[in-house]
Amino acid sequence: MSDSIGMPRVRVATTSLAGCFGCHMSFLDMDERLFELVKVVEFDRSPLTDIKHCGPCDIGLIEGGVCNAENVHVLREFRRNCKTLVAVGACAINGGLPAQRNHLDLGDCLQQVYVKRDGIEEGGVPDDPELPLLLDRVHPIHEVVRVDYFIPGCPPSGEAIWKFLTDLIGGRTPRLAHPLLRFD
């Protein structure tokens, strides 16, 4: 990455919706390149900063699909604030593992888990307003907001994320080719 002294740093926000934080772990797998990255990047909302709400940003990285109402709010907040929104990982791109429930009826799922399961005595579906309600299906994020780029992988490698971000920050249309482009 080029010398960036005097250049305003690129503001990046990250979050995980219906994901496992594996993509964030992979982000950390950039290892010593993280030092390179922070020379040109500053973080807004992200598990790395603990900032609770996203402000105006250049790039938003979204891990995970959309499985509940809170996911929708967070995703919309990112879309409102980020000039470029990137879907990171299988779940953000096609729903991934959480979307394996999509051919099941949500009502049956909740019944099975909270009411009928062996060992549950006074069962009941949790109704605390603090808990976000589940959508009847899990959706990739591009079915809920407009998405500009996609980094596939479960998770994408640190190498792939690095290549993608350096392309993007360097003003090149990001492109992942074999073997960085992977779906597994």
Partner 1 sequence: MGGKFLFDGRPVPFEEGQTILQAARAAGHYIPHLCWHPDFPPHGSCKLCIVKVGGRHVSSCALPARDGMEVESNTPEINGERRALLQMLFVEGNHFCPSCEKSGNCQLQALAYELDMSSARFAHFYPDRPVDASHPDVLLDFNRCIFCELCVRASRDVDHKGVFALTDRGIRKHLVVNAESGRLADTDFAVSDRAADICPVGVILHKRVGFALPIGERKYDEASICTVAMEKGE
Partner 2 sequence: MQDAERIAAQAVERHRREPSQLLQILVETQDGIGHLPAASLTRIADLLDLPRSRVEGVAGFYSFLYTEPVGRYRILFSDNIIDRMLGSRGLMESLCRRLEVAPGEVSAGGAASVDTTSCTGMGDQGPAILVNGLAVTRLDEGRVERIASLVRAGTPLVEWPAEYFRVDDNIRRRGALLGEDFVPGAALQAAMARGRQGWLEEMRISGLRGRGGAGFTTAVKWLACRDAPGTDKVVVCNADEGEPGTFKDRVLLASQAERIFEGMTLAAWATGARQGLLYLRGEYRYLLKHLRAVLALRRAVGLLGARILGEGGFDFDIDIHLGAGAYVCGEETALLESLEGKRGTPRIRPPFPVTHGYLGRPTVVNNVETLAKTTLIALQGGAAFAATGTPQSTGTKLLSISGDCAYPGVYEYPFGVTIEHVLEDCGAHDPQVVQVGGASGVTIAGHEFHRRIAFEDVPTAGAFMVFDGRRDPFEMARNFVHFFAHESCGFCTPCRVGTALLKGYMDKLASGKGAKMDLADIEWLDRLLKNASHCGLGSSAPNPVIDTLIKFRPAYERRLVSLDFKPAFDLDAALETARRMTGRDDPAAHLDWREEV
Residues facing residue 59 across a β-bridge: 12, 84
**Which pair of tokens denotes residue 20?**
């496992």
Q: How far is the CB of 181 from partner 1 (least distance, A)?
A: 5
**Region binding partner 1 by CB under 8 A among candidate stretches 35-43, 46-54, 119-127, 173-181:** 173-181
Residue 48 burial by CB count (10 A; 0-12/13-18/19+): exposed, middle or buried? middle
Non-local CB neighbours of 146 within 8 Å, separated by 6+ positions: 79, 85
Number of residues that bind partner 2 (CB under 8 A): 25
Contact between 30 and partner 2 by CB under 8 A: the answer reads: no
Contact between 176 and partner 1 by CB under 8 A: the answer reads: yes
Report helix, strand or coil for 66: strand
Cβ contact 50:27 at 8 Å: no
Residues from 64 through 103 that contact partner 1 (CB under 8 A): 87, 90, 93-97, 99-100, 102-103
Residues from 133 through 152 that contact partner 1 (CB under 8 A): 137, 139-140, 142-143, 147, 149-152
Instruction: List residues near partner 2 by CB under 8 A.
Output: 69, 72, 76, 79-80, 105-107, 110-111, 125-127, 129, 132-137, 139, 143-146
